[in-house]
Each structure stands twice: as C-alpha cells, then as structure tokens.
Amino acid sequence: MTVITPSRPAQAVRVAERVLSARAGSAVTLADPIDLGGSGRTSVVRARVAQNPLSLDRSLVLKVFPADAHDGAFARELASYKYATALPSDSRPGPQLIASDTAARLLVLSDLGDGRSMVELLGSTDWSDTSHAISAWGQALGRMHAATVGGEADFAALLRHGPGHETVEAVRVPAGAAVQVAADLIAAAVGVRLHAEVLEMLHQCPHLFSDGDHRAFSPSDVGPPNILINDDGVQFMDYEWGGFRDATLDIAYALVTFVPELAPRWMARRDELETALIDAWRSEIQAIWPALVHDGQMHRKVLAARTLWVWLSTAWMLDPDLDVDQRTHGLAVRSNDPAVLVARWRDLSAAGRRIGLVGMGDSCAEVADALDAAWHR
C-alpha cells in the first residue's frame, strides 16, 4: 500500500504520475507541484502536466487523504466525484474526476484555476460583486439540485461498491443527537427555555438527511470557503460530505454561513441578500418542485433547516462531547466565535418573525441575549 504523507506534495505527484501513466499506456509527467494547503484533513496539490499523451489539461489538482483518515471520508468523496463527473457539463457542480487510487487515497481532479473565492466576493466593498455572487450561488445550487433529482440510486450504487462501504450521511448522527438534547442543553447553559415553535422546527429536521420531499445531490459543505467563481461560474469544492439529502438543507446552510463573511458595510442589507439567494435558487427548482413556489411552504421548510444549522453549531460549542466525528471541525457552519453564533440566533429570530412565528422570534432573540451575556461575563 502506498501511503502519502500530506506534507510532502512530491509523493502525491509520483503516485499521480503512476496512476495516469497506467491509464494512458505511456508516461505522464507532472512538474512544478504547488501545495494549495487543503482543509487540514487533506493535502491539495496543483501540478503542471509536463508530458501529456492523454490530452489532459495543462494542470491538475491532486487531493490526498492522510493514512489515518476515516475510511468513509475518502469513499464518500470518491463516489461523489464519480457521480458529479457523470453529469452533463453544464450541470456539473465542481471539478471533474480524472483518476483515483484507492490504496493511496488519491484523487486526480481537473484544475478550476484561480478565479475568485466566495469569501473574497462577500467581503468586497463593491455591492455589485457581492450581490451578483449571492445570486450566482443560489442559481448554482438550484441547477445542481434540478439536475440530480432521481439520481439517488445511482449514487448509492457508487458508494456501495466503493472502498469504504459507508452509506450513512455523516452529519445525521450528530444532528439527531444535538436535537434530542436541545431543550435541556440550552436551559442548563444559559437558563432559557426554548419556545415550542423552535423545538417543533428542530424535531422536523434530522430526517432531512435520510428522507424528505426534495432530495437531490449536494457536496453538503456548500459554505463560502468551499466556493470558487471562475469563467464557468460557481464551482463547489470539497465533496467529503457529498450525498443525497433534502435540498432545503443546502439553501439554509448558505443562509447561515454567508453572513460572517459579509463586508461590514453590507450588514444592514443582509435581508436583501438572503432574498436574492433564495429567489435565485427557487428560479431553478420551481419546475421540479412546484410546491416550493408557494412562499408559505418554502419559507417554513427553509426556516426549519436553518434552525437546525444554527442549533447544531451552537450545540457543538456548548458541549464538545456532542461532536463524535472529528471531521466536522472542517465544516463551514462551525464557528469558534461566540459573536458569530449570537448573530445567527438574531438572524434566525428575524426570519421567524418574517413568516409570523412571533413566539419563535422572541425565543431566538432571548437565546441570543442570554448567550451574549454568558460569553461576555
């Protein structure tokens, strides 16, 4: 077994050359490796294709999982890239899988180029940069969801025949555990009783990972750090959590994770950006999910999923023992900044009030105040 040490890009290049050469039937040579950093769990390397019998792109990206990584992480990412690469090019959500080596835990991917990151665009001082990026993000999510409805059996087959045989959505277990202790944990931490409307929203959500009326493929960690915008549009990266789940989890994830990256001057206009994100997404999926054309049903479903993400990120900070899977440390929804979590509860309060859930709005505002007071003692 070839084990690649993530801190040594040259090893990744050698293994990739072997894999690509075997596929081509003649030598493929890679040169000038650049360490792109990776997520902490993985190493990501860009290399120039110096000798190229396969008419490959001029550069490729090599993604390597460490030897001690959870088997399911590589298996799920491999299955996700295989599934996404088989989609029509205009529906493909991110890089194309060129080759892989299971023993070395190596993925060879097309190079998306430099482009502009969503983090950069949200932090821009140019309103058109930020507003256009938000709309493009929503549209890209919608196109991906629309293109993959009905494909769950194909994805399951890829996962079932992959190296890890993992079939369980990785976030489902910690999410379910966090929901079960929500009332007791928040009461013990800050002395607040969650309103019945908040608890009702939370208890609707864990099944969305394994069930739900609006299932489609998703890379799952669709927050700003994993989005690049290049000449081909929005590109989603990092498929370690990829799989099928209810699409409202994705649009809610976007709503929860974009605000911390927003330039301070646009904070007063974040409601406008939320509306643009949702409308752009809905414009792409309304033909396949006509029920979501109705504002009442759509906003309630998205609010429920949003409540889950806000609570899950808070629960992980209040009780680290709820995080049984260390891979979640890389998720964009996680935050170690108390101010971010307080802001999420305030935004959740406003979202509840906008659809007439006054009790939920008041309860979320009370949680925000209590957390803010507790963390500033």
pLDDT digits (tens, 9 = 90+) for 83-119: 999 998 888 899 999 999 988 889 999 999 889 999 9
Q: Is the dihedral of CA 229, 234, 235, 240 positive or negative?
A: positive
Radius of gyration of the chain (CA): 21
Residues recorded for the chain = 377
- Three-state DSSP state, 46: strand
- Tell me the CA end-to-end span of the chain in Å, nearest whole number: 53
* pLDDT of 1 strictly over 70: no
The answer on 276 and 155 residing in a single domain is: yes
Query: Phi and psi at residue 147, in whole multiples of 5°?
Result: -75, -20
For 132-174, list the strands marked E by DSSP: none
Structure tokens at 104: 């070395």
Give the CA dihedral 340, 344, 347, 349, nearest 10 degrees.
Answer: -130
C-alpha to C-alpha distance for 187 and 165, rounded to whole angstroms: 39
More confident residue, 16 or 54: 16
The answer on 81 and 123 residing in a single domain is: no
The answer on 330 and 240 residing in a single domain is: yes
The answer on 150 and 187 residing in a single domain is: yes
Q: What CATH number corresponds to the domain at position 232?
A: 3.90.1200.10
The answer on 186 and 103 residing in a single domain is: no
Q: What percent of the chain has pLDDT over 70?
A: 92
pTM over 0.75: yes
Nearest to 271 by CA among 363, 361, 347: 347
The type of residue at 334 is R
The answer on 122 and 38 residing in a single domain is: no
- Three-state DSSP state, 117: strand
On the 0-12 / 13-18 / 19+ scale of CB atoms within 10 A, 165 is exposed
C-alpha to C-alpha distance for 28 and 108, rounded to whole angstroms: 13
C-alpha to C-alpha distance for 228 and 99, rounded to whole angstroms: 22
When mean pLDDT is compared across 39-43, 70-74, 127-131, the lowest value belongs to: 39-43
The answer on 240 and 91 residing in a single domain is: no
The answer on 346 and 263 residing in a single domain is: yes
Q: Which of 94, 110, 126 is the last residue of a domain?
A: 110
Domain containing residue 45: 9-110
For the chain, list the strands marked E by DSSP: 29-35, 43-51, 59-64, 97-101, 106-110, 116-117, 215-218, 227-230, 233-236, 243-246
The answer on 78 and 93 residing in a single domain is: yes
DSSP assignment, residue 226? Answer: G
- pLDDT number for residue 349: 98
* pLDDT of 12 strictly over 90: no
DSSP assignment, residue 168? Answer: S
Pairing of strands 97-101, 106-110: antiparallel
Whether the CB-CB separation of 241 and 170 falls below 8 Å is answered with yes
C-alpha to C-alpha distance for 88 and 276, rounded to whole angstroms: 26
The answer on 260 and 209 residing in a single domain is: yes
Nearest to 313 by CA among 220, 174, 195: 174
| Total domain count, the chain | 2
Q: What CATH number corresponds to the domain at position 76?
A: 3.30.200.20
pLDDT digits (tens, 9 = 90+) for 177-191: 999 999 999 999 999
The answer on 215 and 101 residing in a single domain is: no
Q: Which of 93, 110, 127 is the last residue of a domain?
A: 110
* pLDDT of 138 strictly over 90: yes
Whether the CB-CB separation of 47 and 30 falls below 8 Å is answered with yes
